[in-house]
Each structure stands twice: as C-alpha cells, then as structure tokens.
A and B are shown apart, each in its own frame.
Chain A
Amino acid sequence: MERRTIFPGWTLPALLLLPQLVISFIFFYWPAAQAIWSSLTREDPFGLSAQFVGLENFADLFADPLYVATIWRTLFFCAAVAALSLGIALLLASFADREIRARGFYRTMLIWPYAIASAMAAVLWILLLHPQIGMLGRALVRAGLNWDYQLNGAQALLMVIIASAWKQISYNFIFLLAGLQSIPKTVIEAARMDGAKGFHRFRTIILPLLMPTVYFLVVVNLVYAAFDAFGTIWALTQGGPGKSTETLVVKVYRDGVVNLDLGSSAAQSVVLMAGVILLTALQFRFLGKKTTS
C-alpha cells in the first residue's frame, strides 16, 4: 500500500537508513560475499596465494561420506524436533483454548519458557538426565537401561532432540493459541449446529483453518532446529559422542573455528546459505497464505 502523503526530501531518509545499511553491509553482505568467494578458491598450504577452483570445494564436500551423513543427520534432527515440538504445542494449545477455569494461569505457565536460551535448555536437561546426578537419569540407570548420553550416540541424539524440542514448545504454543483464537466463534458454532463433535470437529473444521499457522511454524521450527539449536547441542554434547549429534552448523563451527579448515568451512557456509534461502522463501510463501486466509 502506498501512502497518500509523504514528507518531502531524500537526504533525511537516507541518513535515517544509513546506520542499518552500514551495519548490514559490513557484517552481513561483505562477509557473505567473502564466504562465497573463498568457497570457489583454494589457498596454498602457506596461505600465500589463492587459486580459483570453481566448484571443486563443493565436489570434495559432497564426496565426503562424513559430510553426507551429517546432512542426513541434520534432516532427521530437524524433522524430529519440529514434529515433537509442534505436536506437544498443538495438544497444549487446543486445550488452553477451551473455556476452562484458570486458563490465564495455564497460558502464563506455558508462555514463560519462551525466555529460556537454547544453551540453558541443555543445562536444565543435563540436570535431569545426567546418569549420576540427574533424577531421571538415575531412574533410567536403576531401571536397568544402560543410560549414559555421554557414551551412547543414540541416547545423545535423543537427548538433544528432547532438549531442543522442549525449548521450542512455548514459541509454538503462543502462535498456535493465537491462531486458534483468531478462528471466528461463529464458524465453530456453525459446526456445532451441523453436529460436528469433539475430535471430529477439531480435525474437519479447526485444524484446516489452523493449517496456515502450522505451515508457517513448520518452517520456523526447521530454521530453529537447523541453526539456533546449536546452543543446545554445543552445551550438551559438542556434537559427540563421535559425530552422533553433529549437525551442519555444529560441523561448520568445528571445522572453521576449532579446526581452522577455511576452504571446507566456506563451502559448508555456502551450502547452509542455500538452505536458509530455501527455507526463507518457503516461509514467505506460507506467510502470504497466512495473511490472505
């Protein structure tokens, strides 16, 4: 929508935009361009000269079975986190939307965890699931399970999934509840007049109307799991044991910052960039749907 009246002049708006544009250029566009450039070049072992090698770095990357395994692991991790987190949040939101006593209290109790940092989620779950000190962890050990996420890869992966999904429930809950509340009461009443009851009503009327919000959240959750869950994973397992909880972002951090393998790190960065562009494009497709519905 275009405004009917505007302020005249262009120097003032240029000045207003300047700080944001300068920061965006220095810390976003310039480094991103650098990443793309170095993903296409290879430095000699002494770092004295760089040579253009085209897509060779990418070819190397995808020829590395470890990298391909990390891609699959990341996809699994993201899907599991999104599904678990959204599922629980949907369950809670649909009950919190009911006309029950103390619902304000329940809502507050489910909203505050929004404030938990992903690294803090890891700390809290360690306190619960640590095999020696955690209450749940000790219970699992006593139950005869060989519970130790520091040694068992599958258990470690399960734990980072749980902690990451747990942290994201609150965010999903807020959006799903808002989505449920924006469904017109009259539509629900019409469905009741038509005789739709309970779960059937939820599945045939409410859920379809909620789908734009759900699609939007699926993308947000995938982005969250792919990128922001780094804090949880790094604090919990640092990608281990072995590589069993290493996602793409953990790997790019480890290869670039810890192991200083710049060429591979740049190529990995560009792969991630492609991923995030794809996800953002998806997100705005669903946003469009959400606003038009």
Chain B
Amino acid sequence: MRPRTDWLAHFVLILGCVLFVAPLWMAFAGSTQSAGAIARGQMSLLPNLSGLGVYGDVLVHGGPGVGPVWHMLLISASMAIAIAVGKIVISVLSAYAVAFFRFPFRMAAFWMIFLTLMLPVEVRIIPTYTVMSDLGLINTFPGLTVPLIASATATLLFRQTFTAIPDELMEAARMDGAGPWRFLKDIVIPVSAANLAALFVIEFVYGWNQFLWPLLVAANPNLDTIVIGIVKMIGIDNAIEWNKVMATAVLALLPPVGVVLLMQRWFVKGLTEGDK
C-alpha cells in the first residue's frame, strides 16, 4: 500500500519553515535595496541584484556607528573559535582527570566545576567586572574569551562520554604500553571524535552569539563583535541605513548557520545525548 500524502503535515511544516526563512529572506531582499526606499516603506520582496554591492561596502567601510564589518566578523570568529577550542581543551582535560584517575578531593573538584552552572554572569555581574578590571582584562581579547572557557556542561558531557569507554579498552592500551597521555591522544580523543565535533558546534555558536559579556567587558570599538556591532547600528537615533543593517545581519548569521548546517548530524546527536 502506498501511503497517502500527508497534506496536513506538509502544510504545518512548510508554515514552520516560512516562520524562519521569511525574516532571513526579508533581510536579504532588503539589503539589496536603497536605504531611502526602505525608510519610505517601499521595500520589495524581490532582491535587487544590482544592490549586492552593499555587502562589499559594509565589509570594507562598515556603517553608521560601527567600523568595518570584516573586522567585527574577525573578532567574532576569533572569539568563537577561541572559546570553543578553549572550552573543549579545558573540559577534556578535567573530565579525563575525573574519569581515569583516583585522587584526593576528586569529587570535590568535580562538584566545584559542576556548580559553576549555577553562577551565570548575570548573578555576579559587578564583582566580575571588578575582578576583570583588577586583572587588567577590560577591553582585551583575553578578557573577552578566557573567563568564558570554564565549562561545566562540556566537562559533564565529556565525563559521561569517557565513562562509557569500556574498562577493557584502557586495559588493552595499558598492556600495549600506553601511558596516560598516549591513551588520551591515541584512544580517548579519536573514540570521542563525534562528541568533540558536536561540542565544537555548540560552543562555536555559543561564542559567536555572546552579547552580555562583550557588552560588559569590551567597550572599545576595536573589539566590537558582529552581534554587538549590529545592535549598535540599530541603536543610533536617526539616519539608520537599513540596507546596511540588513546586509550586516545576513553576514552575521552566515558563519554560525553554516557551521550548524555543515555538522548537523553530529551536532544534533551530541546536543540531545549530552543532556542526559
């Protein structure tokens, strides 16, 4: 029996897709039109291909209130990569210590990492700023990234992944002559590659999308991330050049969306399994 087409499902799902694609399309279509036409409310849903030059324009020259977009993209990308890599490295090391060694205060250390879950920046905002400023980290790239690379969630996820590695695998490696570093490098990391990939996506998106943290510790326009930049662009009182805002929005979305799409399979698996 051939199943009948499930029209209702298609209808609902297409509506769902439109809900997400429409705003993005509108931003893209709008970006190619003249600022004046948009401001007058004469925006067309069809992109005006001759207006694509706006992308080059914002990349090189930026827009009102912000510097060149290429620079903000660079800051965002550096920040996202530094945070993702930093979180992964630091969490793999901690989880490895907790999973494969026994030592005094092991669980105390684990709980100390775990409980940072309950201390998001919002609940310690002023004292954190004070610490940052005492350490001279305000308006610096390390200040933007280092405090964010401690990660309870990633440590939890890796501990769980590592705990699932069978005892025999470690025993076989030890019989083969592997010490702690070799076992980590040759067995644990390759075996956990899918989780590492998933976590990279999650943390890259996390890093790229940071808003409150850069708002707090990086007032210097040279450290504007693309997300901060675009909020600045719409925050000025008048003369907003909407086509530039829209072009910047599209550019700001492309990298994280691209990473999610490219690694969708691992990412979904890692995300949903990691929270068990």
Direct contact of A and B (CB under 8 A): yes
Nearest CB of chain B from residue A58's CB, rounded to whole Å: 15
Contact of B227 among A5, A120, A126 (CB under 8 A): A120
User: B131–A27 contact, CB under 8 A?
Assistant: yes
What residues on A are CB-neighbors of B26 within 8 Å?
A: 127-128, 135
The binding surface of chain B is classed by DSSP as helix
Q: Say yes or no: is B46 at the interface (Cβ < 8 Å to chain A).
A: no
Contact of B27 among A9, A127, A234, A270 (CB under 8 A): A127
Q: Say yes or no: is A145 at the interface (Cβ < 8 Å to chain B).
A: no
Contact of A21 among B102, B109, B120 (CB under 8 A): B109
Q: Say yes or no: is A19 at the interface (Cβ < 8 Å to chain B).
A: yes
User: A123–B126 contact, CB under 8 A?
Assistant: no
- In the complex, how many residues of chain B place their beta carbon closer than 8 angstroms to a beta carbon of chain A? 102
Are A91 and B12 also in contact (CB < 8 A) when A16-B94, A113-B20, A114-B205 are? Answer: yes
User: A269–B125 contact, CB under 8 A?
Assistant: yes
- In the complex, how many residues of chain A place their beta carbon closer than 8 angstroms to a beta carbon of chain B? 95
User: B41–A174 contact, CB under 8 A?
Assistant: no
Nearest CB of chain A from residue B239's CB, rounded to whole Å: 13
Q: Closest 8 interchain pairs by CB?
A: A10-B103, A117-B209, A34-B127, A31-B127, A13-B97, A115-B256, A231-B211, A16-B97
A-side interface residues toward B, CB under 8 Å?
A: 1, 3-7, 9-10, 12-14, 16-17, 19-21, 23-32, 34-35, 38, 88, 91-92, 95-96, 98-103, 106, 108-120, 122-128, 132-133, 135, 138, 166, 169-170, 174-175, 178, 216, 227, 230-231, 234-235, 249, 252-253, 256-257, 262, 265-266, 269-270, 272-273, 276-277, 280, 287, 290-291
Would you mind naming 15 contact pairs between A and B with Cβ atoms under 8 Å apart?
A: A13-B101, A14-B97, A17-B97, A31-B124, A95-B9, A109-B20, A117-B209, A119-B209, A119-B227, A127-B27, A127-B242, A253-B212, A266-B126, A276-B120, A290-B276
